[in-house]
Amino acid sequence: MAHDTLSLGRARFDFAEARDVDLFVDTLAKFERGEIDADAWRAFRLLNGTYAQKQTEGGASMLRVKVPQGILTAEQLEVVADVAERWSRGFAHITTRQNFQFHFVALAEIEQAMRALAAAGLTTKEACGNSVRNVTASPTAGVAADEVFDPVPYAEAFTRFFLRHPLSSTLPRKFKVAFSGGGGDHAFAIVNDLGFFARTRVRDGRVERGFRLTVAGGTAILCRSGEELFDFLPAGEIFGAAEAVLRVFDAKGDRVHRHKNRLKFLVKQLGWEPFRRLVHEELTAIRSTGIPPLPFDPESPPEAEHAPVGLARPSPAALRARIEALVEADVPRGPGLRPRSLPVLGDDDGARFRRSNVRPQRQEGFSLVTVTLPLGDVTSGRLRVLAELARAYADGAVRTTHGQNVILRWVRNEDVALLHDHLRAVGLAEPDPESLADVSSCPGAETCKLAVTQSRGAADLLSTQFRTDRSLVDRADGLVVKVSGCPNGCGLHHVAGVGLQGGMRKVGGRPVPQYFVLVGGDPSGDVATFGRVAAKVPARRVAEVFPALIALYAQRRTDGESITAYLARAPLGEVKAALAHLEPLDEARARPEDFVDLGETAAYAPDATEGECAA
């Protein structure tokens, strides 16, 4: 098990090992020779980030690369661009867990893509499958004014300790971990299997660092807020506590019933106190032999954040010419929805962008700037543009977000206007991230075997429609909207202010795509609030949901109340009544387009099969 600090220079961002790719190639050859069966091959490739798509021609695969804490250097971003261009569709996709995914990669070309990524320090190891998945953190960690302390050094150490750990790839089911710095940073940690929330305490006159630790959170068919295992876990014990939980999960988890074998189901089966007792017994055993130490002083981690120095700063004119040339070469291709360059609407002078996308860092004189990427998709040319801009105006890196966007940090305040000009020139200056004009989504039926609806089509429709009417976005200020193509939580729709979950109904014997409308979800408190089902609306009517909800909010809100807070506390009957007129659909009122899913042209014909989420 690798346990190197790798904390300086390029090595800090290197999580790859060439032997992982060698083993992938050897195992694929064994499968092709018939030496291992399809189930063994599937389990192996999933643990190495390769997921079968619903399309089978040419062995179409999704390749997921881990992005620990959502941090990528400019050089790594350029390699992501190369992989997307050479082996995928000319664009990459950011997930709700801060990873990058490439779709429609031929199985025969996975090795080449993996080797290119590994050469840049990027790994697909344990990116899918029954493993400890990508360890996430807030993209504002280290620069947020209200955080308790920067959790990234601890999250990075945690990533390295459990990457290729003996337990990490043999679990009953996938295992998700997130680190929050506290304050307004929630990082969706409360709905992870392990959620670490930064805390401090004073003991013997000294301030000590630690974490509130919650366990067994999750969404999907059993929404559960993480239970508090420790009110304050000393920072130096995070490896020990996590390993204790993993040991219990490994020993007691259900390996037979695939869809009910997440940690949350084990806690439900055993009961909280018996589960808690088992974990503490394991932790006592680990303490008796010595908790594995962090690779640094828990009270004084290596400094991860500092003002950039020595980065290349080309002339604005030269940079403008270079980035425009990069975008001109963009050729997104292949099936499915593709990124398209849209004119920025409702922000002629950039004031809205500065208000919604630019926030001050706690370090005086610097700002962080969000770059909105509709549907989380970004072309190879624009990935290279972001790399150029990260070197010229930020700290030489980017942070991916849970909302499927990218953040540039350490932008000098005096450079914000110039950066905006560059972004606008290449179609990357869209305002209002994570709003009605920036709806996020899982991949949905476009590629996922399990999805019932084209969730990306729904998200695209909503974002496109509401970006043309910024007044509605303003009236729903702070409302986060997320879409999933099935009951699973990949789109995080259960903890959105409004979540849409794909489903199906029959009208005159013909299938019609529809969405369950969930309202009032919020992951930001000490206990998660999950959305409540308020309606089942045909897919072609989902856009009508939002004016109705906004009008209801305007009538019933209290002074200073946000729409998210209102939807969380509103009587469910009140919300249902406001949406009831959108639900009915019979043969007499059905239009031809009602039988076609959003983002598609052919008649709706759901072909969901057993997915590989629980393989």
CB 402 within 8 A of CB 136: yes
Question: Are both 555 and 584 inside the same structural domain?
Answer: yes
- pLDDT at res. 74: 96
Residue 437 has a CB neighbour count (10 Å cut-off) of 27
- pLDDT at res. 342: 78
Question: Are both 583 and 498 inside the same structural domain?
Answer: yes
16, part of any domain: yes
Question: Are both 206 and 282 inside the same structural domain?
Answer: yes
Question: Are both 277 and 331 inside the same structural domain?
Answer: no
Domain residues for the domain of 462 are 441-595
435, part of any domain: no
552, part of any domain: yes
- pLDDT at res. 7: 40
Question: Are both 121 and 167 inside the same structural domain?
Answer: no
Question: Are both 151 and 299 inside the same structural domain?
Answer: yes
610, part of any domain: no
Provide the angle, in degrees to the nearest 10, between the axes of the packed helices 272-289 and 263-270.
110
Residue 108 has a CB neighbour count (10 Å cut-off) of 11
240, part of any domain: yes
Domain boundary among 269, 304, 339: 304
DSSP-derived secondary structure for 17-86: -HHHHHHHHHHHHHHHTTSS-HHHHHHHHHHTTEEE-S--GGG-EEEEE--GGGEEEHHHHHHHHHHHHH
549, part of any domain: yes
| pLDDT < 50 positions in the chain | 1-8
- pLDDT at res. 311: 67
Alpha-helical regions (H) of 271-315? 272-289
Q: CATH number for the domain including 393?
A: 3.30.70
612, part of any domain: no
The two tokens of residue 427 are 């179609």
For 187, the 3-state DSSP assignment is coil
Q: What is the pTM of this model?
A: 0.96
Question: Are both 155 and 255 inside the same structural domain?
Answer: yes
- pLDDT at res. 4: 38
Backbone phi, then psi, for 201, in 5-degree steps?
-145, 160
Question: Are both 60 and 106 inside the same structural domain?
Answer: yes
Distance CA 373, CA 379 (A): 10
- pLDDT at res. 6: 36
Question: Are both 6 and 91 inside the same structural domain?
Answer: yes
- pLDDT at res. 5: 35
Question: Are both 331 and 297 inside the same structural domain?
Answer: no
CB 337 within 8 A of CB 460: yes
- pLDDT at res. 8: 42
List pLDDT tens digits, range 465-476: 999 999 999 999
78, part of any domain: no
User: How many separate domains does the chain show?
Assistant: 4
Domain boundary among 137, 163, 181: 137
Question: Are both 123 and 269 inside the same structural domain?
Answer: no
- pLDDT at res. 613: 61
Domain boundary among 398, 425, 452: 425
Question: Are both 360 and 383 inside the same structural domain?
Answer: yes
Q: CATH number for the domain including 487?
A: 3.30.413.10
- pLDDT at res. 343: 82
